[in-house]
Amino acid sequence: MRPTTTNTTLRALYKPQLLRRTFTTSRPHASRLRQPGEPTGPNEPPSHISTPPSKSPLKVWPIVGIFALGSFLFKKIVDQRLEEAAYKPQGPVVGMPAIGNLGATTRTSPLWSPDAVTVIFVLGGPGAGKGTQCQKLVADYGFKHLSAGDLLREEQDRPGSEFGEMIKTYIKEGTIVPMEVTVQLLENAMKASMAGDNKKGLFLIDGFPRKLDQAHAFERTVVPSKFTLFFDCSEAVMEKRLLQRGETSGRADDNMESIKKRFRVFVETSMPVVNDFESQDKVVKVSAERSPDEVYADVVKMFKERGVEPIKLKLVQTQNA
């Protein structure tokens, strides 16, 4: 097989001894001290006879190859960085103003103990029915329902919000809003709720955590969760529900293009969170493909198994009443 430019270049870069051998094999006696005037090789003239400079392409191609490979690798790194910036923002948020007021995630210990505040995370793919089930749980169990998506949309629409434009872009792209913002919004909402009528501090946190960094940050700095309620649903069913919801929701992300991106982010970024909690035996999994009431009946059963009981007795109307 004829060596390609890339092969030659790679060899030149990573196996310099190979290249050296290429040059030295034509000089079998190179290691021996040469006598003055002695030819340098069997086919070479004595050194006093001048020869034109060698035009061997081997001397040029490694340099051209290294340059080409360098350019190729540089372009790849730039492309990768651009993709990461678009889809997976990490760490401190570039260009985010007034980061100082997003202090929640910088604390070193939780704000509340799990004895004082109960947090149940609610996860599932987009359209799995998290919001629908949370509404039912609120009515029967007295939880405060906090949806990360709703809080972000509220902040996005709040006049004068310095994060509004950024949130809008993330939501449209179906990507994960930087955790500093989401965790702070949740903490603020929790404080407000407990200062109001939620003295017991019972929370269902819906659509959160969607990424491992926010799961760890929340549990480290706000409060460790009790468990995660996970709604298992196929993409085909979720897609149908979301497209139907999109007919009236007015949401910028209930369209086919955003839905596909949200599915990808869910599988790649949010499922690792579910798996992580599952490894700690902190996941209650419910199949979400049946009717809302059937799904809810399962949720109630699972909650009971975890020691969570309804607070309200339902009044059932009998025929004689």
Which residues define the annotated binding site?
Answer: 127-132, 153, 175-177, 207-210, 214, 245, 251, 262, 290
Task: Show binding-site residues for a ribonucleoside 5'-phosphate.
Answer: 153, 175-177, 207-210, 214, 251, 262
Would you say 12 or 222 has its CB closer to ligand AMP? 222
Query: Is residue 208 near ligand AMP by the rule CB under 6 A?
Result: yes
State the Rg of the chain over Cα: 32
Query: Is residue 288 near ligand AMP by the rule CB under 6 A?
Result: no
Give the DSSP letter of residue 226: S
The amino acid occupying position 260 is K
- Interface map 165-204 toward ligand AMP (x if CB under 6 A): -----xx--xxxx----x----------------------
Token output for 215: 């799961």
Residue 299: Cβ within 10 Å count: 22
Q: How far is the CB of 135 from ligand AMP (least distance, A)?
A: 14
Q: How far is the CB of 227 from ligand ADP (least distance, A)?
A: 18
Report d(CA 36, CA 20) in Å as an integer.
24
Give the DSSP letter of residue 74: H
The contacts of residue 256 (CB under 8 Å, 6+ apart) are 243
- For 32, half-sphere exposure in the C-beta direction (CA atoms, 13 angstrom radius) is 10
The contacts of residue 139 (CB under 8 Å, 6+ apart) are 312
**Which range in 3-11, 24-32, 206-214, 286-294 contacts ligand AMP by CB under 6 A?**
206-214
Report d(CA 293, CA 299) in Å as an integer.
10
Query: Is residue 126 near ligand ADP by the rule CB under 6 A?
Result: yes
Query: Is residue 255 near ligand ADP by the rule CB under 6 A?
Result: no
> Which of 12, 152, 204, 233 is the binder for ligand AMP (CB under 6 A)?
152
Query: Is residue 266 near ligand AMP by the rule CB under 6 A?
Result: no
Q: How far is the CB of 267 from ligand AMP (least distance, A)?
A: 13
Question: Is there a contact between 250 and 261 (Cβ–Cβ < 8 Å)?
Answer: no
Report d(CA 205, CA 193) in Å as an integer.
13
**Which range in 39-47, 157-165, 169-177, 240-248 contacts ligand ADP by CB under 6 A?**
240-248
Question: Is there a contact between 113 and 201 (Cβ–Cβ < 8 Å)?
Answer: no
The residues that touch ligand ADP, with contacts defined as CB under 6 A, are: 124, 126-132, 241, 244-245, 288, 291-292, 295
The residues that touch ligand AMP, with contacts defined as CB under 6 A, are: 126, 148-149, 152, 170-171, 174-177, 182, 207-210, 214, 253, 262
